[in-house]
């Protein structure tokens, strides 16, 4: 039963609701009953407010204390009411708040809970008069919350995702037993199923990344993320974001540098409690991993907190995509892009030898129709002018409108002046408000890798078309992205002048996210560095066109170029000089036939072939189902994380865009032909395959052709020993074409 489907609730009657609720167990109360219990909702009895309404203290005739939540938001009241009663009514656990009953009448909808004498956890953590609470008691509270969440996720017939785990939604009884409340956002889903979000749920600052990134899918792991953030608050006894340093990032830095014990001591935690505090820190770092699949289940969280399961060393929670890149000497790389941080001299820096690029295209004259476009033309001219530093350029791009603090620092959560960017390498992230989740992960990791080592800064310039009304929902979406981004962003999207939009529209990448590289003097040294990042990761630093050209000169068309940083197993097979086959497509019948034929080929040549299914770009439900079938039938290896499949194809597309940006063609660059062929495979439903021996020897073919060649193995297997498998297969494929 779908308890929260709004389409079923629009015309629902009180009688049907009452019939539904009567089957769940909680008792029905009238408005008159609630008036008696709360002394006519006396203002002095108001003890707070939940996600959807005011909460009053009351008392049953037998003396039992209660809390009455009166739901007031008319646009969501039925949705909320059904969700909360449906979930709590069937969920019985010592760490979940108990629902005594409900009232569903025309003039009032309310829920009646057990009363929690010690209030909510946030008051315990943040109010000074509670500062002396014993750490052992806090640790017990944490374990109780974990047990309650584990029950919601794994103790019921239908899994419950809370979506809004935070300290204010944890109530404490007279014995400080933790009880999870405020199920107004909960949604029942089938186990092991991820669901797309139709609206953002939860509280900004506690949301897992996948709950607010466009196109993402969520599982119970979003609750694990929120729980991890709450653990940091328990440790530091302060709210995330209320101080200059964001707690998760601060604790990770302390942990990474081996100074975690110093931080624990600064939090006032006694020597006898340091072991538990250390465990809590590591568990929290596991819980807030950016990638959901790296987060533990709540069952494992309980075992780790209870010291029944070893807590491994957590990886960097802010590493969003595992891109393996060679080490690079950043100091040497920066010789291409000299920065004179310490000098305020008016002497101009030497003009570099690398090509100059502007965001605007030379075709600006064709759109210069009016003041708006003339202003854009002026800005384009400004970008081509040599300056002492980058401030004039940045002031032109970031329209401050007399605001002396036009930037928002995503790391400290504070507003700052443009001066923080003076004479620094600045990457301008130009996009709309719908940055794809996977694209964001790549940018996030690049920033995490480069920021501690260099003077690079990233500034997000959201492109907003002023001809479209700026709604509250857009403002919230902007603020969510702004809060989650660790780099700088403009503080108000309204500060953007229309010419920034014009610049983006005139560029070749109008519908894509752009990452424009400005050197310390404000010169555009790469029109779009996104492509380099997708291909070479942080090794692409310092992201100039000259660097991009140099990297391509060192490359040859190899399997390693396609999979580096995506699948370490394939890199190991390349090192072992194994036969490797990457194949894709959506037709499961072809996949079954091809993998069966590949096994026959492997047996015929007495050599294993490592098969890996890589799906297609924009992997959807069919690719997900194919992965399930491939796994169940043990057909081959596959990438269970669809982000890996997405990145494989994005890297190919990035190679194409990079080559086009450098002016390469099929006629003057052989790699362009290879890229074009691979991208053409993506539209073939029946399949395709790339076969490689190690990294250098490669051949490829469409699905029907490669299946025929594998089926005909007896006709060409004698060529394998003298010529090698890849060369023998290539020769036979040529025969099939002629």
Instruction: Give the angle 580-586-591 at the CA atoms, nearest 5°.
Output: 50
Give me the sign of the Cα torsion angle 652, 656, 662, 667. Answer: positive
- Check residue 96 and report its DSSP letter: B
Residues 6+ apart with CB under 8 A from 56: 38, 41, 42, 45, 46, 47, 67, 68, 70
Whether pTM exceeds 0.85? no
Clarify whether residues 126 and 98 are in a common domain: no
DSSP assignment of 665-707: -TTT-HHHHHHHHHHHHTT-SS-EEEEEETTTEEEEEEHHHHH
Out of 96, 114, 132, a domain closes at 114
d(Cα 242, Cα 412) in Å, to the nearest integer?
9
* Domain contains 68: yes
CA dist 651 to 23, 559, 656, Å?
54, 13, 9
Nearest to 291 by CA among 210, 180, 374: 210
Alpha-carbon distances, residue 357 vs 360, 361, 544, 560 (angstroms): 9, 9, 10, 30
DSSP 351: P
Residue at 203 is within a domain: yes
* Same domain? 516 vs 657: no
Q: Is 179 annotated as a binding residue?
A: no
Whether residues 127 and 95 share a domain: the answer is: no
Domain span at residue 90 reads 6-114
Dihedral sign, CA of 359, 361, 364, 365? positive
Structure tokens at 660: 């086009």
Contact 386, 348 (CB under 8 A): yes
Going from the C-alpha of 394 to that of each of 169, 421, 523, the distances in angstroms are 43, 9, 11
Instruction: List residues bridging with 27 in a β-sheet.
Output: 101
- Residue 319: inside a domain, yes or no? no
CA–CA distances in Å: residue 48 to residues 55, 57, 168: 5, 9, 10
Q: Is the peptide bond before 542 cis (omega within 30 degrees of 0)?
A: yes
Task: Write the CA distances from 671 to 529, 561, 665, integer angstroms.
Answer: 19, 11, 9
- Angle ∠(243,200,182) on CA atoms, nearest 5: 75
Residue 220 falls within a domain, yes or no?
yes
Question: Is residue 150 located within the same domain as residue 205?
Answer: yes
* C-alpha–C-alpha distance, residues 125 and 145, integer Å: 15
> What would the two tokens of residue 430 be?
């130009």
Closest CA to 654 of 462, 512, 558, 545: 512
The residue from 82, 114, 146 where one domain ends is 114
Does 534 reside within a domain? no
> In the structure encoding, which two tokens stand for residue 261, read together?
């014990």
Contact 107, 120 (CB under 8 A): no
Task: Report the alpha-carbon distance of residue 121 to residue 129 in Å, rounded.
Answer: 13
Closest CA to 264 of 178, 429, 135: 135
Q: What percent of the chain is predicted at pLDDT more than 70?
A: 73
Assess if residue 635 is contained within a domain.
yes
User: Which of 48, 83, 114 is the endpoint of a domain?
Assistant: 114
**What is the pLDDT at residue 82?**
67
Beta bridge partners of 429: 460, 515
Q: Which residues pair with 105 in a beta bridge?
A: 108
Query: Any idea what the CATH number is for the domain that residue 107 is in?
Result: 3.30.200.20
* CB 405, CB 417: distance < 8 Å: yes
Tell me, yes or no, whether 387 and 467 share the same domain: yes
Sign of the dihedral defined by the CA atoms of residues 170, 410, 445, 620, in that order: positive
User: Which strands sit side by side in the sheet containing 456-462, from one edge to the other?
Assistant: 414-416, 407-409, 488-490, 456-462, 425-431, 514-518, 524-526
Residues 472 and 501 grouped into a single domain: yes
**72 part of a folded domain:** yes
546 within a domain of the structure (yes/no)? no
CATH number for the domain harbouring residue 690 = 3.40.30
Residue with the two structure tokens 């167990």: 25
Residue pair 208/218 in contact by the 8 Å Cβ criterion: yes
Same-domain pairing of 258 and 130: yes
Q: Within 555-587, where are the H helices?
A: 559-563, 568-575
Residue 295 confidence (pLDDT)? 92
Distances (CA, A) of 539 to 201, 550, 660: 38, 12, 21
Give the number of other Cβ atoms within 10 Å of residue 140's Cβ.
Answer: 17
Active-site entry in 33, 164, 349, 519: 164
As a residue count, the chain comes to 738
Q: Are residues 477 and 601 in the same domain?
A: no
Q: Identify whether residues 168 and 283 lie together within a single domain.
A: yes
8 Å CB contact between 691 and 698: yes
Residue 656 to residue 334: CA distance in whole angstroms: 26
**Quick one: 76 and 164 in the same domain?**
no
**Helix/strand/coil (H, E, C) string of 11-38?**
CCCHHHHHHHHHCCCCEECCHHHHHHHC
Whether residue 182 lies in the annotated active site:
no
Spans of the chain, pLDDT less than 70: 1-25, 49-52, 72-84, 86-87, 127-132, 183-206, 212-216, 237-247, 318-387, 399-402, 438, 450-455, 464-467, 493-512, 738
pLDDT at 384: 58
Q: Looking at residue 604, what is its pLDDT?
A: 93
Which residues lie below 8 Å from residue 258, measured CB to CB, with a gap of 6+? none
Taking CA atoms, 609 is separated from 283, 605, 631, 635, 693, in Å, by 40, 10, 17, 12, 10
The pLDDT, as a whole number, for residue 356 is: 32
Write the CATH number for 179.
Answer: 1.10.510.10
Is 89 in the same domain as 129? Answer: no
Residue 163 and residue 78 share a domain: no
Nearest-angstrom CA–CA distance, 560 and 575: 10
Let me know: does 286 contact 295? Beta carbons within 8 Å: yes
- Give 635-671 as a DSSP string: -SEE-SSHHHHHHHHHHHHHHHHHHHHTT--TTT-HH
Q: CB–CB of 408/479 below 8 Å? A: no
Residue 608 has a pLDDT of 93
416: helix, coil or strand? strand
- The structural domain count of the chain equals 4
């Amino acid at each position: 039963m779908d308890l929260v489907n709004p389409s079923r609730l629009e015309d629902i009657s009180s009688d049907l609701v009452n019939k539904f609720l009567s089957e769940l167990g909680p008792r029905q109360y009238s408005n008159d009953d609630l008036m008696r219990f709360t002394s006519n909702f006396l203002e002095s009895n108001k003890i707070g407010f939940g996600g959807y309404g005011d909460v009053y203290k009351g008392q049953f005739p037998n003396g039992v204390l209660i809390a009455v939540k009166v739901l007031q938001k008319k646009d969501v009241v039925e949705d909320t009411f059904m969700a909360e009663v449906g979930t709590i009514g069937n969920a019985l656990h010592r760490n979940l708040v108990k629902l005594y009953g409900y009232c569903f009448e025309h003039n009032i909808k309310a829920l009646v809970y057990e009363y929690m004498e010690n209030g909510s956890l946030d008051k315990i953590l943040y109010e000074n008069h509670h500062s002396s609470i014993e750490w052992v008691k806090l640790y017990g509270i944490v374990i109780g919350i974990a047990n309650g969440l584990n029950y919601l996720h794994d103790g019921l017939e239908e899994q419950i995702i809370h979506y809004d785990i935070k300290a204010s939604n944890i109530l404490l009884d007279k014995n400080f037993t933790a009880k999870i409340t405020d199920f107004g956002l909960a949604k029942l889903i089938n186990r092991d199923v991820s669901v797309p979000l139709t609206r953002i749920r939860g509280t900004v600052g506690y949301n897992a990344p996948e709950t607010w990134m466009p196109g993402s899918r969520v599982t119970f792991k979003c609750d694990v993320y929120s729980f991890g953030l709450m653990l940091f608050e328990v440790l530091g006894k302060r709210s995330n974001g209320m101080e200059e340093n964001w707690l998760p990032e601060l604790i990770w830095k302390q942990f990474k540098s081996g100074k975690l014990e110093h931080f624990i001591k600064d939090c006032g935690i006694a020597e006898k409690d340091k072991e538990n505090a250390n465990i809590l820190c590591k568990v929290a770092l596991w819980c807030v991993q950016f990638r959901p699949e790296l987060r533990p289940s709540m069952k494992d969280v309980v075992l780790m907190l209870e010291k029944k399961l070893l807590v491994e060393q957590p990886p960097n929670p802010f590493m969003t995509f595992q891109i393996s890149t060679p080490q690079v000497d950043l100091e040497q790389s920066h010789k291409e892009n000299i920065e004179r941080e310490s000098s305020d001299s008016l002497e101009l820096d030497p003009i570099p030898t690398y090509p100059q690029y502007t965001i605007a295209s030379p075709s600006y004259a064709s759109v210069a129709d009016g003041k708006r476009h003339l202003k854009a033309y002026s800005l384009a001219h400004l970008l081509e002018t040599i300056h002492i530093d980058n401030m004039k350029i940045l002031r032109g791009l970031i329209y401050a409108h007399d605001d002396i603090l036009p930037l928002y620092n995503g790391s400290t959560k504070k507003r700052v002046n443009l001066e923080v960017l003076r004479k620094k390498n600045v990457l301008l992230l130009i996009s709309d408000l719908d940055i794809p989740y996977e694209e964001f992960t790549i940018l996030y990791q690049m920033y995490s890798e480069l920021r501690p080592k260099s003077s690079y800064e990233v500034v997000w310039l959201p492109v907003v078309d002023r001809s479209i009304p700026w709604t509250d929902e857009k403002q919230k979406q902007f603020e969510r992205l702004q809060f989650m981004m660790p780099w700088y962003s403009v503080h108000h999207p309204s500060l953007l002048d229309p010419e920034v939009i014009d610049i983006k529209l005139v560029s070749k990448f109008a519908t894509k996210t752009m990452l424009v590289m400005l050197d310390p003097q404000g010169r555009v040294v790469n029109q779009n560095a996104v492509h380099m990042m997708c291909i070479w990761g942080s090794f692409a630093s310092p992201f100039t066109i000259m660097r991009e050209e140099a990297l391509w000169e060192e490359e040859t068309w190899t399997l390693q170029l396609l999979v580096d940083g995506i699948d370490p197993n394939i890199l190991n097979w390349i090192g072992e000089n194994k036969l490797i086959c990457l194949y894709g497509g959506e037709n499961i019948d072809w996949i079954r036939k091809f993998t069966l034929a590949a096994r026959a080929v492997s047996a015929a040549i007495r050599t294993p072939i490592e098969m890996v299914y890589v799906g297609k770009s924009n992997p959807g439900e069919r690719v997900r189902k194919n992965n399930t079938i491939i796994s169940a039938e043990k057909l081959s290896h596959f990438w269970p994380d669809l982000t890996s499949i997405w990145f494989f194809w994005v890297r190919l597309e990035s190679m194409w865009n990079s080559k086009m940006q450098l002016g390469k063609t099929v006629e003057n660059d052989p790699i362009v032909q290879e890229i074009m062929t691979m991208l053409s495979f993506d539209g073939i439903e029946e399949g395709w395959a790339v076969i490689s021996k190690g990294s250098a020897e490669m051949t490829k073919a469409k699905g029907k052709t490669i299946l025929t060649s594998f089926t005909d193995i007896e006709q060409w297997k004698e060529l394998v020993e003298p010529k090698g498998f890849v060369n023998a297969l290539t020769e036979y494929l040529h025969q099939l074409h002629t």
